[in-house]
Amino acid sequence: MKISTFATDLDLEENGVWVDIGDGGMLLVGRLGNPRHQAAIRRISKPHKALIRNKTINEELSDELLLRAMAEAILLDWKGIEDDKGKAIKYSKDAAYDLLRDLRDFRNLVTELANEQVTFRREEQLQEGNV
């Protein structure tokens, strides 16, 4: 096995890759743990540092902080996302947060895409036409 199999593109990890999720929906997804994501987690968590350090943060607040960081630095944009009446949902960080919070399977999909190495391999994305 060639070690280059594990190489990813750091620019794609931070700035995202367009991923076709079917039915005309496209997501611009950055990699979990990329520098922008880490910075967002630090900034968003800062007001709650004592709770985190003392391990007294409740699960609800912890989830909110993680989802806000995802909405800011992982789910970067979308195309073709509609509500149930067929009306386009305009991308914003707040809209991304709402969908990630309210739709567990959507959140799981974004997390899976953001965690898959192949999503961020430039060679793969060039072949797919996503870069």
Model pLDDT for residues 62-112, shown as the tens digit of each residue: 899 999 999 999 999 999 999 999 999 999 999 999 999 999 999 999 999
Domain ranges of the chain: 3-128
Q: pLDDT band at 58, cuts 50/70/90?
A: confident
How high is the pLDDT of residue 9?
85
Closest CA to 72 of 126, 32, 24: 32
Q: pLDDT band at 127, cuts 50/70/90?
A: low
Task: Quote the DSSP letter at residue 115.
Answer: H
pTM greater than 0.75: yes
How high is the pLDDT of residue 8?
82
Closest CA to 27 of 101, 97, 81: 81
How much is the average pLDDT of 118-128?
67
Closest CA to 35 of 27, 26, 43: 43
DSSP-H helix ranges across the chain: 10-15, 35-45, 49-53, 59-73, 93-102, 104-115, 122-128
Sign of CA dihedral 49, 44, 20, 15: negative
